Structure 1
Amino acid sequence: MDYFSIAVGFLVGTATGAAGTYFGNKYTDERKAKEHERDLKVFYKTLWLNHELLLSEMKQDLLNPEFKYHRDFFILSRAGYFNYRGKFLAYYIEEHDELEQQIKILVSHGLITDVSEFGKNVKKYQFTEDIVDHLLAE
């Protein structure tokens, strides 16, 4: 066997292996992206089914031009007194079933963050951009 045939065989084998790896990775990545997109749709659909009233109110607040860039909100009781300078978003315990538990679920999914200040009696949270994007797209 001559060296030319060996070199050609080696190069063809290497090119075939590289192409196989490239296309295998490409189509695996596309499949995983589709699966991830499908999983996200199922996740958000389930989330809407379980928390429709709260998420609808949050969506309406974010669609309001006055609160377009607001990301912080408070959990309040209508019976209490709250003093805050400026406009703010608030969700009231009396208006939502198990509001604090619903908020904890959203926190556990990483959709909102607890940013309450130490020593304050009022719970303060912040929307993540993921939930804002979803609410505004829904």
Structure 2
Amino acid sequence: MDLLSLSIGFLSGALTGAAGNYLADRFTDARREKKEVKALEKSWKDIESRFPEIIDEMRSDINSIQGKGIRAFFIKESDTMIDFIGEPYFVYHTDKHLELRAAVLYLAQLGFVQNLTPGNTPMYRISERLVDFLRNT
């Protein structure tokens, strides 16, 4: 066996292995991404079916002309005040939506909102994923 044949055999084997590994990773990642998107869509449909009034109010707020750039919201009772001068925000009332706290906790669990509470009144940041879901339907 000469050195050239051995080198060519080694290189072709290494390239074949690397190419196979690359293609396997690529197709596995694509399959995993599709699976995650389907799971996220399923979670969104579950949220919409559990809390339709809350989602409808959020959808109308996000789609309004004034609400296009707003990504923060507070949850509180109607008769309380908020002393916050930071950025524009939405306010959702726990006495209007009895399941509001449960809905927000579920949205946070799924990564649609992030808790940013600066004081006593719960404040949340809306993810762009949630904005996309609210705008698409």
TM-score of the alignment, normalized to the shorter chain, above 0.5:
yes
Indicate how the Cα distance of structure 1 residues 66 and 72 shifts in structure 2: closer, same or farther if over 3 A, else same: same
Task: Give matches, 1:108-123, under 5 Å.
Answer: 108-118=109-119, 120=120, 122-123=121-122
Is 1:106 matched up with 2:107?
Answer: yes
Q: Deviations over 1:76-101 (max 9, x none)?
A: 323x1436689752212232232222
Task: Give matches, 1:25-40, under 5 Å.
Answer: 25-40=25-40
Aligned residues of 2:116 and 2:124 also touching (Cα < 8 A): yes
Find the aligned partners of 2:74 and 2:58 in 1 and give their Cα distance: 12
Higher Rg of the two aligned structures = 1
Q: Gapped runs of 5+ residues in structure 2?
A: none
Task: State TM-score, norm by structure 2.
Answer: 0.82
**1:65 CA drift (Å):** 0.4
Aligned residues of 2:70 and 2:88 also touching (Cα < 8 A): no
Q: Deviations over 1:27-50 (max 9, x none)?
A: 111111111111111111112111
Indicate how the Cα distance of structure 1 residues 117 and 24 shifts in structure 2: closer, same or farther if over 3 A, else same: closer
Q: Gapped runs of 5+ residues in structure 1?
A: none
Task: Give matches, 1:1-138, under 5 Å.
Answer: 1-78=1-78, 80-82=79-81, 88-118=89-119, 120=120, 122-138=121-137
Q: Which has the higher contact order (CA 8 A, sep 6+)?
A: 2
Q: How many residues align?
A: 135
Find the aligned partners of 1:102 and 1:116 in 2 and give their Cα distance: 16
The residue matched to 1:90 in structure 2 has which SS? Answer: strand
Find the aligned partners of 2:29 and 2:80 in 1 and give their Cα distance: 53
